[in-house]
Every structure is written in structure tokens, then in C-alpha cells.
Amino acid sequence: MSPTLSQHEALRYIRAKVDQLLTVMGTLPLRAEELDDDTLIALDPIGIIAESFRQVITHLNETNDRLDVTQKEIRAILDTLGAAVVVLDIEDRVEDCNSRASEWFFGGADRTQVAGRLASEVCTCAEALVGVRADADGTPHSLSLHGRDVQVVASRIFNDAGHHTKTVILFTDITQQKDKERHLKLYAEVFRHVGEGILITDADNRIIEINDAITRITGYPRDELIGNTPGSFKSGLHEKSFYEDLWRTLREQGYWQGEIFDRTHAGQIIPLLQSISEVRDAEGVLTHHIAVMTDISSLKETQTRLDFLAHHDVLTELPNRLLFSDRLHHAIERARRDQHPVALLFIDLDRFKNINDSLGHHVGDLLLIEAANRLKGLVRRADTVARLGGDEFVVLLESTASHATAALLAEKIVMAFKQPFTVSGLDLHIGCSIGTTLFPDDGDDAGTLLKNADAAMYRAKETGRDGHVHYSAELSVAMTDKMELDNALRTAVRENSFELYYQPIIDITRGRVVACEALIRWPGGPATARTPDRFIPVAEETRLIVPLGEWILREALERLCAWRDAGLGLDYVSVNISAVQLAQPNFIDRVIALLNETHVAGSELQIELTENVLMGDIELCAWVLAQLREHGIRVAIDDFGTGYSSLSYLKQLPIDNLKIDRSFVRDIPGDPNDCAIATAVIGLAKTLGLDAIAEGIETTEQQAYLAQIGCDKVQGYLHARPMPAANFETFARNF
């Protein structure tokens, strides 16, 4: 306390005393206020003032001491504060600060070192200080200081005269608090947006909070749930004991997880994966439950569907190979134990490939579904019908299985499949071939039984389709033959033991050999498979046709070139191309390379494709043919009339030539149907601006008729059989 202040206080006290005195004496005409201090002291006639003054001083000293102590206490308090306190005067001089402030703002210098100095001189971040002082109004502000979140409150201090004399600024580090807030905000966001439903109940299991997902999953609006118990969700599908177990586990372990069926607001049952946790306070008293639930309906559906798919064929929904072999294994086990036979029918659709290739996979698929349904309708419930893949089906007969019952069922199926299938408005004739086997006679295990049934089915196919064959040991020999044929073909490709024959294509109006078709021969081939009809399908199956086909092309082109050099001019050589070759990604490149190597122009080559090849992958074909056309290569449709080609497609494909199949030529002119077909095809060719060649002309009558209906190009035994190159040359020169 300043001495003037204490004296002033003392004088005020004395003045009061004197007033009392004067009142008592009533002698002086003056009031104490009117006396100045010196007069007052001098006027102490009876020593009252001096005494009073002494008392006052003593009193003041005591007060001073007390204030000192208080001030020290205040300082200690200020220094232990987590906050920084700075007092600035109105000129921004530091008047006081606590230890936290010296640490934050004054580089550790204590208040005695900074007191009286301008903040801008001593403070490491004076702008913050001064800035805050400028708008000190006692309201808290947040700011970032040294990378921390700080809350600032600045208050102005006024003297008795109401003048602003200083500003006290309080900085509190609220980084942790802010972090907590941020976390809380984050948790709230998670709570709101998480896919799982979260539901919080109080200790009495009343719902106090839910997130949006709960509403999405259960369909309950928020206000129908808050305050209620989760009992509204009960589906009624669980026993009482289920919930009792749930609560017991929850009480014992503080946590429960499991699958539960609940009922939605709309009354629909949904499977949920749910976990419930207890929340307890520091004293261990239960305060809340938190339930997290995931809708697993789609997961369940997927699981069921996956289970089904793993064992069933997607298209027909029949058991697949996996499930079938499982059933077959069990059937054999039972049969072995109970000593009864088991029969197996291996069914393959006839001409399915044609339909698939020509009418497209969609029609093929629908047909397979129809076939599966027809099959299912023919067997008893106890029997298993399965689809092994492609157009292969199997039937497993367990009870009453015998040669006779298997044959009977096979016959029934063959007859049923002779009836056309109506698919996409089309009547499709397919038929089927069946091989049958019996356990234990034709195989002791599932694998052998199935393999032998397959072999029997092949035999059924070979001996004219639409039939059934029971397995016999000789059939295994036939299978072995096929493998041997494949081996022999491979050796033949390697050793180059094929030969190309050429059959002339004759323009009857000009009486000239205008071109030739190259046809492969295998002189050293096995007697049963020497003709291309027999070995080409095997080569296609094993893709050996790719190297073989390349050899054929090269050979034919080289031959054409040699003939040309020798003065034998032909318009083109026609080469048969299989679907497997056409589907090779480098097919076009290979053809072009071969043309270049053999110095043959594109227009001197014609490739022959059957309708089914063309319709197989119409887009691919259209593209390939367009590429070929760009190089001038001619394209002919071989065996025209035997497939399922669509005229509208034909029109879109760059085709030069239709080769009328031999089967329509054979009975000309006797058969009016064939005559009509031949006439129509030739008319069609003319309309589409195509050439037409009649294949398989054997008689002059056939030729005469064809000439009459406008077909001027022919090929057939009437003129020449396919022959070796040298013979062809002679033939063509002398024609």
C-alpha cells in the first residue's frame, strides 16, 4: 500500500473522529471537511488526533502485513495455475505475469525481468498478446498458439476514476479438451454413418439412442424406439430359453454375440448378426448396454445360393457333376452293402452343337433347360438326374435297377427326345444318344461306371444317332481306337504324311475348269479313318487341325503358284477351313503371310466355311470375313442348306459363293422337293449377287437340270473325283 494512500485513509479516520469531537464540543463554527490536512493536524488541541493517527498507522501496518501475505498467496496460486496470466498496462507494457506466462511468452524470463517492458520487446509472440488486449471484453476466444489450442480471456481493469489502467489476459491451454471434442465429433460421425445399426439402452434396457442404420435395418422410426425396450424387435422365432441364455451370457461375460432373427416394423423377419456389450461405471455399476447389429439377409441368401451353386448347374438347376459323383459314390456303397445293382444312363443330345452354333447360345441354353425338364419328367423322384456339362446328362437309378429297367428308361428317353422342342417359337429336332452301365457288372467304382457309360453313349452316336447302347467290353476297345487315332494323326502331322487332292470346279457354260477344291487325303491312315470325314473331327477335337490346316493352305497355295508358272491358269483354289482355325486370333495374319510367301494374290484363294461355322460366332465371323475381303480373298459357304443359317445374317456377311450341298443335288431331277430347293438356292444366290456351285454332280441329268435353272458351276464325280495334283494338271489341260 502506498504511504499517501495510508495517510489518506488515516486522515479520513481522523476526520471522522474530529467530527465526533466537534459535535461534542459544538464550539467551532467550522466542519471538519473544510479543514485542510495540515490545519487539522495542527488543530489537535487535546492530542486526540495524534493518538488516533498512531492507532490508525498501527492498524494500517497490520493490514499491510496481511495484504503482503495475501499477495504472496495470490502469486502462488497464479503460479500454480495451468493458465498463463499476463497483465499489460495501456501502453502494452508488461505489468505482471505468472510463471506459465513467462514460459509461454517471455522465453522463461521471470516477471521481475519483464515488468515495465514493452510486450513487443520481450514477448515471443507479442501480436497475440497485444491483439487480444485490443478487444478485451471478458469473452473467451480461441486461438492457436505454438501449435496448441488456447482459450483467451482478456478483462480490462479500471481505476476508481473509471479509467482503463490495465488489462489482465488469461491464456488456457485447451488442446486436450479440443482433441477430446474432435474425437467426440468423430465418434458421433462414425455412430451416424456406420453401416451397422447401433442401439444404446440404459441400465433398465430402455433405448436412449440409436443411429440411422437401426431405422434403415428395422424400419422403426427413431421416436418409436426411444424410451422403449428392444423387445419390439422380437420375431417370435426364438424360444424363451434363447433370450435367457443371451442375458445370462451378457451378465456373466459382459458381452454376447450371435445371430438373431428380428422382426422389422413392416413385420418382415430378418437375420441379424448382433453383439451386445454392457457398459459399467468406475464403481462397476451397470449404466448402459450397447447393441451393434448387422443385417445378414443378403449374406444368408448368398450363402444358400452359393451352397446351391456349388452342387447344382446354374442353367438347369440340376445337380452338377460334384453332387452327382457324391450321390453315385453313396449309391455304390449302399448297393455293395445291400447287394443290389445300380444303373447309370449317360445321355448326350444329338445335333445340339448345330443348334448352338447356328441359332446362338441363348437358344442353346433354353433348349438345355427344356431338355432337363423333359428328363426330370421321365424319371421317378428317387432317381437322380444331373447335368455333367455341355449337352451331357446322367440318370442314376438306384432301386429296381437292372439291365431291363435301364434299357426301358433309355428307350423312353430316346422316344421322348424325338419329339421336337419348342424354343423361342422354333420347333427344334435334336434327339439323343444314351449309353447305359450297371453296377457291379460294368464297373466296380463310380469313375469306371461313368467312363464306360460314356463309351457306350459314343457307340450309340456312331451307330446312327437316336439310340441307346449298353456298355460292353469291346467299347473300351473303341475308345482306345480313338486315342490311337489321335496318336497316329499327330505322327502323321509331324512326318508330313498327308496329301492334297484336287477336285475340279467346272463352268459348264464355258466348258472350262475354272478352279479346284483342295481335299485332304491320308494314304497311310488307319483303314477305318482314312477319309477326312472321319479324321478331321478328331483333329478338330484335339486342335491338331491348326498345324494341319496351315500345312493344307501352304500346300494348296504353292500348288496354285506352280500351276500358274507352268501355264495352267485357274481363277482360284478353294480350301476348307474349320471353325477351330477361324477362331485362332492370328488366323488372318497367317493367311496373309502364306499368300505373301507363296506369291499368290488374295483373289486366287477361296476359303470354304460351313453355315454352322459362320453362325457360331456371327460377330467374329463378320469381322474375320471383312478382313479377308479386304485382301481380296473369296469366301464360300460349304454344304449350303444343311445348317441353320439365317438369311438376314447371310446378307450381312461378305460372301462370294454358295456351294449347294450334295444332298439336294442327289435326287435331282427326280425329287420335286430337291428340285425346288435347288431352284430356290440358286435364285437366292442370284438375288444376293453370289456365285453358286452345285456339289456332288454325278449324272448328266443332274447337270442338265441345274444348267436349266441357272447354275453354271458344278463339281462332282460326273467330271472328276478329287485327284492328286499331277493328275489334276493333266485333267485340267485336257478338259
Q: Which does 696 bind (CB under 5 to 8 A by kind): Mg ion, ligand C2E, none?
A: ligand C2E
Should residue 576 be labelled a site residue for ligand C2E when binding is judged by CB under 6 A?
yes
CB of 519 to ligand C2E, least distance (A): 4
For the chain, the C-alpha Rg in angstroms (whole number) is: 54
Instruction: Please choose, out of 33-41, 254-262, 448-456, 715-723, the segment that lies near ligand C2E by the rule CB under 6 A.
Output: 715-723
The entry of Mg ion, ligand C2E, none that residue 552 binds, CB within 5 to 8 Å by partner kind: ligand C2E
Verify binding: residue 531, ligand C2E, rule CB under 6 A: yes
Shortest distance in whole angstroms from residue 600 CB to ligand C2E: 17
Please state the closest distance from residue 718 (CB atom) to ligand C2E, in A.
7
Is the C-alpha dihedral spanning 451, 457, 459, 462 positive or negative? negative
**Should residue 546 be labelled a site residue for ligand C2E when binding is judged by CB under 6 A?**
no
Q: Which is nearer to ligand C2E, 341 or 696 (CB)?
A: 696
Backbone phi, psi, residue 501, to 5°:
-105, 160
Q: What is the DSSP string of 599-622?
A: T--GGGEEEEEEHHHHHHTHHHHH
Pick 98 or 606: Cβ nearer ligand C2E? 606
| Contact partner, 519, from ligand C2E, Mg ion, none, Cβ < 5-8 Å per class | ligand C2E
Buried b (16+ CB within 10 A) or exposed e, 299-333: eeeeeeeeeeeebbbeebebbbbebbbebbeebbe
Interface with ligand C2E, residue 128, by CB under 6 A? no
555 binds ligand C2E (CB under 6 A): no
Chain residues 454-513 in contact with ligand C2E, contact rule CB under 6 A: 503
Q: Which of residues 201, 211, 436, 576 is near Mg ion by CB under 5 A?
A: 576
User: All 3 cell numbers of residue 269?
Assistant: 423377419
- Annotate each residue in 673-702 with x if it binds Mg ion (CB under 5 A) or - if it does not, as one string: ----------------------x-------
Give whichever of 102 and 503 is closer to ligand C2E, judged by the CB atom. 503
CB atoms within 10 A of CB 700: 9
Where do the DSSP E strands lie in 296-353?
A: 342-349
Residue 98 as a binder of ligand C2E (CB under 6 A): the answer is no
Dihedral, 100, 106, 111, 117 alpha carbons, nearest 10: -150
Nearer to Mg ion, 193 or 721 (CB): 721
Minimum CB distance to ligand C2E smaller for 396 or for 655: 655
668-677 contacts at long range (C-beta below 8 A, 24 or more positions apart): 668/701, 668/702, 668/705, 668/706, 669/701, 669/702, 669/704, 669/705, 675/705, 675/709, 677/641
User: Per rule CB under 6 A, is residue 702 in the interface with ligand C2E?
Assistant: no
Closest distance of CB 554 from ligand C2E, Å = 12
681, 648 Cβ separation under 8 angstroms: no
Contact region with ligand C2E (CB under 6 A), list: 11-19, 114-122, 518-526, 598-606: 518-526
- Residue 533 binds to ligand C2E (criterion: CB under 6 A): yes
Instruction: Please choose which of ligand C2E, Mg ion, none residue 367 contacts, taking the beta carbon within 5 to 8 angstroms, the exact cut-off set by kind.
Output: none
Work out which of 350, 398, 604, 608 binds Mg ion, going by CB under 5 A. 608
From the list 225, 291, 368, 552, which residue makes contact with ligand C2E (rule: CB under 6 A)?
552
CB neighbour class for 142 (10 Å; exposed up to 12, middle 13-18, buried from 19)? exposed
All cell numbers assigned to 152: 483467451
639 near ligand C2E (CB under 6 A): yes
60, 41 contact by CB (below 8 A)? no
Q: How far is Cα 535 from Cα 526, in angstroms, rounded to an integer?
A: 10
Amino acid making up residue 65:
D
Instruction: Tell me the closest approach of the beta carbon of residue 694 to ligand C2E, in angstroms.
Output: 10
At which residue does the C-alpha cell 445291400 appear?
A: 338
Parallel/antiparallel/unpaired status of strands 605-610 and 572-576:
parallel
End-to-end CA separation in angstroms for the chain: 145
Residue 608 CB, nearest distance to ligand C2E (Å)? 6
Which of residues 218 and 576 has its CB atom nearest to ligand C2E in the complex? Answer: 576
Contacts of ligand C2E in 267-306 (CB under 6 A): none
Residue 512 region, left (φ>0) first, then alpha (ψ -120 to 50), else beta?
beta
Strand, helix or coil for residue 313: coil
From the list 14, 434, 519, 600, which residue makes contact with ligand C2E (rule: CB under 6 A)?
519
Q: Are 658 and 639 spatial neighbours (Cβ–Cβ below 8 Å)?
A: no
Of the candidate residues 136, 520, 615, 732, the single one contacting ligand C2E (CB under 6 A): 520
CA–CA distance, 29 with 22 (Å, rounded to integer): 9
Query: Binding to Mg ion (CB under 5 A): which residues in 308-367?
Result: none
Residue 722 found at the interface with ligand C2E (CB under 6 A): yes
- Residue of 262, 313, 350, 638 that binds Mg ion (CB under 5 A): 638
Q: Which residue has the cell 420335286?
A: 672
Query: Which run of H or of E encompasses 672?
Result: helix 672-687
Q: Are 150 and 172 within 8 A, CB to CB?
A: yes
| Among the listed residues 638, 640, 681, 702, the single contact to ligand C2E using CB under 6 A | 638
Contacts of 306 (CB under 8 A, 6+ apart): none
Least distance in Å: CB of 564 to ligand C2E? Answer: 21
536 contact, one of Mg ion, ligand C2E, none, CB 5-8 Å limit per kind: ligand C2E
From Mg ion, ligand C2E, none, which one binds at residue 722 (CB under 5 to 8 Å depending on kind)? ligand C2E
Minimal distance, residue 439 CB to Mg ion, in Å: 45
> Closest approach of Cβ 720 to ligand C2E, in Å?
9
Cβ proximity to ligand C2E: between 166 and 634 the closer is: 634
Residues of this chain, 586-615, that bind ligand C2E according to CB under 6 A: 608
CB of 582 to ligand C2E, least distance (A): 10
User: What are the phi and psi torsion angles at 298 (to 5°)?
Assistant: -70, -35
Q: Which of residues 331-350 bind ligand C2E (CB under 6 A)?
A: none
Cβ 481 to Mg ion, closest distance in Å? 26
Candidate segments 71-79, 120-128, 446-454, 525-533, binder of ligand C2E by CB under 6 A: 525-533
Task: Provide the H-helix boundaries in 522-617.
Answer: 532-541, 545-565, 579-582, 587-598, 611-616
Q: Is 698 in the site for ligand C2E (CB under 6 A)?
A: yes
Alpha-helical segments (H) within 221-314:
222-225, 240-253, 297-311
145 vs 718 by CB, closer to ligand C2E: 718
92 binds ligand C2E (CB under 6 A): no
Q: Does 639 bind Mg ion (CB under 5 A)?
A: yes
Residues 6+ apart with CB under 8 A from 614: 621, 637, 645, 649, 650, 653
DSSP H/E element including 212? helix 212-218
Residue 428: partners with Cβ closer than 8 Å, 6 or more residues away = 355, 359, 363, 367, 420, 421, 422
- CB neighbour list of residue 136: distance below 8 Å, 6 or more residues apart: 154, 155, 156, 167, 169
Interface size with Mg ion, residues (CB under 5 A): 5
User: Whole-number minimum distance, CB 311 to ligand C2E, in Å?
Assistant: 40
User: Counting contacts by CB under 6 A, is residue 528 touching ligand C2E?
Assistant: no
In whole angstroms, the minimum distance from the beta carbon of 366 to Mg ion comes to: 30
Q: Does 529 bind ligand C2E (CB under 6 A)?
A: no
Instruction: Residue count of the chain, please give it.
Output: 735
Residues that bind Mg ion (CB under 5 A): 576, 608, 638-639, 695
By CB under 6 A, name the binding residues for ligand C2E: 503, 518-520, 531-533, 536, 552, 576, 578, 608, 638-639, 662, 695-698, 715-717, 722
